[in-house]
Amino acid sequence: MDLTTTYMGLKLKNPIIVGASPLTSTFESILELEKNGAAAVVLHSIFEEQINHEIGEIDHFLFKGSESYAESLGYFPEVVLSNLESDAYLDEIRRVKENLSIPVIASLNGVSKGGWIKYAKKLQEAGADALELNITYIPTDINTDARDVEQLYLDALQAVKENVTIPVAVKMNAYFSAPAQMAKRLSDTGADGLVLYDRPVHVDIDLENLNSVQVINKSSSKDLSETLRWSAILYNRLPLSLCASTGVHTHEDILKAMMSGADAVQMVSAILEHGHSYIATVLENLIAWMEEKEYISIEQMKGSISLAHTSNPAAYQRANYMRILTDYRF
Ligand SMILES: Cc1cc2nc3c(=O)[nH]c(=O)nc-3n(C[C@H](O)[C@H](O)[C@H](O)COP(=O)(O)O)c2cc1C
Atom of ligand 1 nearest to the CA of 44: 8
284: CA distance to ligand 1 center in Å?
24
Q: How many other CB atoms are found less than 10 A from the CB of residue 200?
A: 14
pLDDT of residue 57: 56
Query: What would the pLDDT profile of 227-281 be if each residue is shown by its tens digit?
Result: 999 999 999 999 999 999 999 999 999 999 999 999 999 999 999 999 999 999 9
CB of 19 within 6 A of ligand 1: the answer is yes
What value does the mean pLDDT take over residues 94-123?
A: 91
How many whole angstroms separate alpha carbon 184 and alpha carbon 70? 46
Check pLDDT > 70 for residue 62.
Answer: no
265: CA distance to ligand 1 center in Å?
13
Atom of ligand 1 nearest to the CA of 272: 31
* Helix locations, 22-77, DSSP H: 27-35, 48-63, 69-75
What value does the mean pLDDT take over residues 287-304?
A: 97
Check pLDDT > 60 for residue 83.
Answer: no
Q: How far is CA 262 from CA 8, 210, 256, in A?
A: 12, 42, 9
Using pLDDT thresholds of 50, 70 and 90, give the confidence band for residue 79: very low
Query: What would the pLDDT profile of 199-222 be if each residue is shown by its tens digit?
Result: 878 999 999 999 999 998 999 999
**Which range, of 113-127, 268-282, 312-326, averages the lowest pLDDT?**
312-326
323: CA distance to ligand 1 center in Å?
35
Distance of CA 161 to the CA centre of its chain: 16
pLDDT of residue 68: 43
pLDDT of residue 305: 96
Domain locations in the chain as residue ranges: 5-327
Check pLDDT > 70 for residue 81.
Answer: no
Q: How many other CB atoms are found less than 10 A from the CB of residue 38?
A: 26
71: CA distance to ligand 1 center in Å?
43
Using pLDDT thresholds of 50, 70 and 90, give the confidence band for residue 49: confident
Query: What would the pLDDT profile of 153-185 be if each residue is shown by its tens digit?
Result: 999 999 999 999 999 999 998 889 999 999 999
Q: Which amino acid is at 308?
A: A
Smallest CA-to-CA distance from 237 within 139, 132, 149, 308 is with: 308
Residue nearest to atom 4 of ligand 1 (CA): 21
272: CA distance to ligand 1 center in Å?
10
CB of 48 within 6 A of ligand 1: the answer is no
Residue nearest to atom 3 of ligand 1 (CA): 21
18: CA distance to ligand 1 center in Å?
10
Query: What would the pLDDT profile of 17-42 be if each residue is shown by its tens digit?
Result: 999 999 999 999 999 999 999 999 99
Using pLDDT thresholds of 50, 70 and 90, give the confidence band for residue 75: very low
Atom of ligand 1 nearest to the CA of 19: 17
What value does the mean pLDDT take over residues 131-154?
A: 93
Q: Which amino acid is at 34?
A: E
Q: Quick one: angle between helices 225-234 and 251-260, nearest 10?
A: 30
Question: Mutate which of 25, 108, 199 to test ligand 1's pocket (most atoms within 8 Å of Cβ)?
Answer: 199
Atom of ligand 1 nearest to the CA of 271: 26
CB of 268 within 6 A of ligand 1: the answer is yes
Superfamily of domain covering 5-327: Aldolase class I (3.20.20.70)
Using pLDDT thresholds of 50, 70 and 90, give the confidence band for residue 315: confident
Q: How many residues does the chain have?
A: 330
Calculate the average pLDDT of the chain.
89
Q: How many other CB atoms are found less than 10 A from the CB of residue 71?
A: 10
Q: How far is CA 52 from CA 3, 169, 223, in A?
A: 41, 22, 34
Smallest CA-to-CA distance from 192 within 229, 241, 135, 232 is with: 241
